[in-house]
Amino acid sequence: MLLYSVKVTLYYILGFTHSEFTKDNHMASIKNHLIGKQFSDFQKCISDTKLENPIIPVNGQRARLIPTNKASAQRNEMNLTSVFLSTLVLVKEFKDMFSREIGLSRAGTLHAYTEVEFPKLKLYLGNREKKIDRVDGLLLVVASGKIKDAVIFEMKSDDNSIKKEQVERYMELANELGINKLVTISNQFVTSPKYSPIDVRIPKNINLFHFSWHYVNTLGKILWEDNEFNIVDEDQRRIMYEVTEFFDYDDSGVKNYDKTSNTWSKAISSFGKGTVNTKDPYYSDAVLSWIQEERDIALKLSQLLGYVVDTQKKAYSSLQERIDKETQTFITPPHILSSEFKIKNAISNMTIAANAYSKMIVASVVVQNPEGKRVSSQLNFVKRQLEGKCAKSAPEKYRGIRDKITLDIIFKGRIKDYSFSFTEYEEKEIDITNIVKEKNIDIKQIRVNYVLNYSKEFSNRKNFITKYESQILNFYHVIVQNLTNGEVITPQIKIMDIEE
C-alpha cells in the first residue's frame, strides 16, 4: 500500500492526471496477458529459462504422451495431466468434444504444457509472502501465429481433493494473465462441468469448470465405440484406445466411486431411530454421496451405451444449491433421495427414488400404451414385452428380477394410479378392466418399477454402492432396453359445431 501511495504521489508531482495513472497501471496489466501474444515469443521463453529479458517470463515443459515420472500420488497427478493434455493435442475428436464442454475456441492449433509458472508477474514481485504458483497444466490455442485462447488446469489424483485456496490463487493468476477459463479435474464427481466440488466465489470474468477423471475417461471411450462420434483417423483412434487403457490401470490414479461418505451410516440410521438433528452435516454429506454415485452410474451407462447419459434433473446455479435443496427434502419424511437418467432413444427417462427410512429403492420407466385399444390389449402390451423379449434377453437375470417388478397403471384425468405386483397380473387385470368401465376412463401409461429392499445394506458405505449399481445396470440391461412404446393416436376432437 505504501509503494502504491508513493507511486501516485510521484505521478502528481510530475504533472500526470489520475486517469493517466490508472491507464498506465491498466497497460501494465495488459502486458501480462497471454492472449494476443506471439506464440513464437512464448516458445522461445519457455524453452530457454536463462533469457535475460524474456518477453513472457515463463517456466514449464511440453506435455508428453509418455511421461517419465516415477509412481507416487504426486507423480500420478503429473502423469495423468501430461497424458490427458497431450491426447487433446493429438486426437482431433477428443479435442473437439472437450473444447465444446468448456467453450474453448476450436479455430487453431492446440499446444499443451505442464508444471507452468510465471515467476516475474506483478502478482508476485514485491510480495515475499506470496508463493509463486505452479499450475499443473496450460493449454494454448494458436491461430495465425498468435495465442487466441488459453486454459489453466488444476489436477488431483487418487483420493486427493480440489482445494479452495489453490483454486482462488489460480483464478487470481488467470485474471492476471487475461485467461478466462480454469478447469479442475479430480476423482470428485459433479453432475455438470459447470458445478465445482468446492464452494468458492467465482469472479465474473472467470469460467470455472470441473470434471472427474472417470468422466474424461468416458469421453475417450465413447470416441472409439461404434457410433456417430467415431475418430476418423485410425492412428488417432489407437492412441485414444491406449490412453483409456492407461486411465483404467489400477495404479493410474483414476478412481470410480465405490463408497459413500464416512458419515453416511449416521445419517441413514438416524431416521430409523428418530434422532434427526437438522443441524448435523451428515445429511448434506449423504446427499453429496448420492449425487456422486448418480454421476458414476451415468458414466458407466455411457461407457456401455457409447454416448453420454445425462443426469441433470434441474438447472441449479451450483452444486451447492442442489445439495442444499435436496438436503431439505432428505431430512423431511419420507426421507427420499432421487435421480433421473436421460438416455438417448430409451423408452423414457429412468427415474430412481431411494427411501432412506424404509430402505427401499425403486427404479422406474414409463411405457406409453397403444391408444384406441381395449383395456386387455393395453395391459397385455406391457405383459407381452416383459414375458417375451425381456425374459428371453437374459433368462437367469430376468427370473431374479421378475418377482420384484411392480406396475403402476396411470389413468387419464385425476384418477389415482392403480399399483400392483407383476406376479398378481392375472387377477388385477380384471379389477382394472372394471375400473375403466365403471368410471369411463382410459389408460394413459404404465409405469414399470424394479423394487429392491436393501435392509441393513442401505447403511453400509460400500455394500450400498455395489448393490445399487447392480440394481440399476441390471434393470436397464434386462428390462428398459427391451421395452418399446405403443402407437400414440393424434388427439381427436370428439364434438365440434362450427357455423359455416
The CATH code of the domain that includes 450 is 3.30.930
Q: What tens-digit pLDDT sequence spans the chain (500 residues)?
A: 444 444 444 444 444 444 444 444 444 445 678 999 999 999 988 887 677 777 777 889 999 998 876 655 567 889 999 999 999 999 999 999 999 999 999 889 999 999 999 887 777 766 656 778 899 999 999 999 999 999 999 999 999 999 999 999 999 999 999 999 999 999 999 888 989 999 999 999 999 999 999 999 999 988 876 666 788 899 999 999 999 999 999 889 999 899 999 999 999 999 989 888 888 889 999 999 999 999 999 999 998 888 888 886 667 778 888 999 999 999 999 999 999 999 988 999 999 999 999 999 999 999 987 766 788 888 889 999 999 999 999 999 999 999 999 999 999 888 899 999 999 998 899 999 898 888 888 888 999 999 999 999 999 999 999 999 999 999 999 999 999 987 654 443 334 444 44
Same domain, yes or no: 401 and 421? yes
Residues 169 and 286 in one domain: no
Are 363 and 460 contained in the same domain?
Answer: yes
Q: Mark whether 174 and 240 lie in a shared domain.
A: yes
Is residue 188 one of the residues assigned to a domain? yes
Same-domain check for residues 74 and 13? no
Are residues 194 and 313 part of one domain?
no
Could you write out the DSSP letters of every residue in 175-216? Answer: HHHT--EEEEEES---SSTT--SS-----TT-EEEEEEHHHH
Same domain? 12 vs 160: no
What's the structural domain count of the chain? Answer: 3
Edge-to-edge strands of the sheet including 405-411?
A: 336-341, 350-355, 360-368, 443-453, 405-411, 418-421
pLDDT given at position 69: 65
Which of the listed residues 248, 278, 301 is the one where a domain comes to its end?
Answer: 248
Residue 253 included in any domain? no
Name residue, grid cell 462420434.
Answer: 229
- Same-domain check for residues 41 and 169: yes
Domain identity same for 298 and 418: yes
**Radius of gyration of the CA atoms of the chain, in A:** 29
Answer whether residue 459 is part of any domain.
Answer: yes
- In terms of domains, do 279 and 218 share one? no
DSSP secondary structure of 261-320: -TTHHHHHHHHHHT---TT-THHHHHHHHHHHHHHHHHHHHHHHHTSPPB---S--SSHH
pLDDT at 248: 92
In 3-state terms the chain splits into helix, strand, coil percentages (rounded to 5) of 45, 20, 35
110 part of a folded domain: yes
Question: Three cell numbers at 367?
Answer: 411405457
What is the residue range of 410's domain? 264-482
Four-residue CA torsion sign, 22, 27, 28, 29:
positive
Q: Is residue 496 part of a domain?
A: no
Query: For position 372, what pLDDT does the model report?
Result: 64
Residue 256 contacts residue 248 (beta carbons within 8 Å):
no
Domain contains 221: yes
Question: Is residue 50 included in any domain, yes or no?
Answer: yes
Residue where one domain finishes, among candidates 248, 283, 318 = 248
Question: Do 40 and 23 sit in the same domain of this protein?
Answer: no
So what's the pLDDT on residue 160?
93
Q: Is 236 part of a structural domain of the chain?
A: yes
Is residue 352 within 8 Å of residue 363, measured between CB atoms?
A: yes
DSSP state for residue 253 in the 8-state scheme = S
Residue 436's Cα: distance from chain center in Å? 44
Instruction: Tell me: do 129 and 94 sit in the same domain.
Output: yes
b/e map 18-52, b = 16+ CB within 10 Å? eeeeeeeeeeeeeebebbebebebbbebbeeeeee
Structure confidence at residue 371 (pLDDT): 66
Contact 300, 469 (CB under 8 A): yes
The pLDDT score that the predictor gives to residue 251 is: 87
